[in-house]
Structure 1
Amino acid sequence: MSKTTIALEAAVAVVLENTPKDAAQTNRQRVTVDRAFAQILKLIAPRIRHFVRQYGLVAHFEDAEQCCAIAVHRAIEAYDPTKAQFTTFVNWQIRGELQSLRFRLMTDQRASAKKVEATTVSLSALATGPDGEEISPEAMIVDEDALERTESAASDYLADGAISSLIDAYVDHLRTVGIEALARRPRPKRQEAALRREGPRFKTATHGIDPAELEKLEAKLERDREIVARRVFQASTLDDLSLETGVTKERVRQITKRAAKTIADIAAADPRFAVMAEHDRPAAKRCPVATPAATLLPKADLPHNRFATVRAVEAAQAALPRTITVQASLTLN
């Protein structure tokens, strides 16, 4: 056994000894492993240069050197002293990494591959960016606009649900108003007598109303629903609605105008549509606070501007007019 082989076995033993599998690695162990790994690379450096020349990767020596470092890591992880020496493990790992690197950089150079014109293709080289860089398969699969489209579709779905609920509430309102109007209509005397005989326990919202009238009301409500949905929320033209529903353009305009006002009232009154009612509501204007006008007079409420004493002083000379001297004291807080 050569000195290099013995030194390799010792360095690998140090790495394995300071790489616990069931516990966290300490800082001291990490430093020891780094030093031993550097020693391993130094010992096999001539072997690495030999394999790089053998596989024709001298022009890509830095990449080949990195691949060899990876091969050493994998050889240490897979090393089993009972099967072979470390030098055998590391040789096969280095050969495999350099062979893979050569396949990624060039076509297959083996004689068997040249006979069948085989070519090794990297998945990362399938597409290139605008600057010529390789695009990874992950980048090709990931859809950058997926989140935006998902949020847009969810927003459209919620908006359609809110519109449908608003229209349903409006139609229910029209149905209630229509049934009340039909109930207030005068009935024939025979129908009134029959209702009195039946008693109050049979009375409902539609009790006593002609079923034919109810069918007409439902048909009218269905027509109004279509007009409101298409005119108010889908911006259909008056001409199209008039031709398809058989209602005049003026009547369509009246229906949609009344529906817009009623729907706005429903949205404002119903808690379910509170957000929609407040969405376009302008913010309340704040009243501007009146700022006091600038003045040259001193502020009388400040301590140093308050008079402490006022005393009248007679003039020293009789010829001088009588004056009043004001004596102020300075108060410091």
Structure 2
Amino acid sequence: MSKITAALEASVATVRDNTPPEGTAQTRRQRACVDHAFARILKLIAPRIRHFIRQYGLACHWDDAEQCCAIAVHRAIQSYEPEKAQFTTFVNWQIRGELQSLRFRVMTDQRPSARKVEATTVSLDAITGGEDGEGLSILSAIADEDALGRTEAGASDYLAKAAMNALTESYVEHLRNSGLERIRRRAHNAQPKPVKAKRPDNAAAAPPVRRPGRAPLDPAELTELEQRLEHNRQVVEGRLFETAPPLDLGEDETGLARERVRQVAKRAAKTMSDLAVMDPRFSLMAEYRQAMLAAH
């Protein structure tokens, strides 16, 4: 046994002795011993690693090849059985397997199926001749010139749709709060007011009259409010923003129904304009509106 082989066996034994069983935490001292022994193993087989990298034609992918060799050494240590073979022999096949796998990944023309059709790996940065005779890289030849415009247009449409949805929700919530306030006010006014009876001057003070609590809201009015809100939402989405099909008026497609829809859309536009000014989320839309008004 040579000195390098003996040193490899000793370093591998150190790594295996300081590797705790699965489920057991490794101490800091054990981790330091493993790191030191692993670095020594890589130093001992460094000439062999360089030889294999050149042999497999991976000199242009040197960093990746070295990483693959380190992974191969780590796997070899984990699965090494000293009674079956020496580590210096066992690790060779692990390194060869990892480098062969790397070569198939980065050099697809090395596969047996690629050799049958005489495939060749071509770099995207390779210079080819253009139509006018000037040098042109393959990457620039396959580049989509309209990709940036389509991406910006798609992003603009997405942001515009998100802003319209947020503004619609803000408008509907504003109407809901206003409607609930009116329903609460009507329910409060409909409550019977307590009547204070007159008492003689010499009578004892009567206990204070307990006022009734908040009046319950009428479920029918709440249902009607939600239906009206849904109707207004459909008008806004279909008539103002055109993000939904136009509102179906059903059989009542009279001038009165169309005029009512027009009035709802007009009030919605005015309300949303005011909301855009007050809500900081729509400050950009408000600035655009002011600029348009100033231009006209």
TM (norm. structure 1) is 0.42
Q: Which has the larger radius of gyration?
A: 1
TM (norm. structure 2) is 0.46
- Considering fraction of residues, name the structure with more helix: 2
For CA contacts below 8 A with separation 6 or more, give which structure has more relative contact order.
2
